[in-house]
Chains A and B, each alone.
Chain A
Amino acid sequence: AQSVAQPEDQVNVAEGNPLTVKCTYSVSGNPYLFWYVQYPNRGLQFLLKYITGDNLVKGSYGFEAEFNKSQTSFHLKKPSALVSDSALYFCAVRDTDSNYQLIWGAGTKLIIKP
């Protein structure tokens, strides 16, 4: 069965430091991977996705993610964190086995401290 895991429930980073939010996946075919961000009491906003091609994907708000096939990971990164980056981050993988729905990670709360 296809799955996605976000091993960290919460990540704490000091403002200005680099940040990484981890995501690992398990798929039977080609992976289609997505990152979303959710601010309090708001809907989810799309950040970036990997479909094919370059392993380093750049997205909104200065975020990027690196696709690593051998490690089955798709970690979200940003070189310099902002306090405004504090939010809930979701990784998702497309279920290509059945109905092409997104399988969601449990979410990682990112806290950026001034």
Chain B
Amino acid sequence: DVKVTQSSRYLVKRTGEKVFLECVQDMDHENMFWYRQDPGLGLRLIYFSYDVKMKEKGDIPEGYSVSREKKERFSLILESASTNQTSMYLCASSAVNQPQHFGDGTRLSIL
């Protein structure tokens, strides 16, 4: 069974802090994704990576960056956290042209 693990279920940070959200998958998937999930807006793609050190912007990349130094790990970075980045963050992974598998999510609050 595919396992996508997000390092924290809940995280509280202050505005202006640099925040790291970590995601690890154990199925050697090429693709990894970061979404944010907000009521009424569904899931919106922040960034997508299709290989180590490769990334593409999603629909809402502003204020975020990502890092993929190893195939199994995909990090989301909030360079200077703001209150409008309070949200649920979901990581997903997939093999090429296969369905995505999701982690449990990290509920991030920016105070």
A and B bind? no
Q: Which residues of B contact A (CB under 8 A)?
A: none
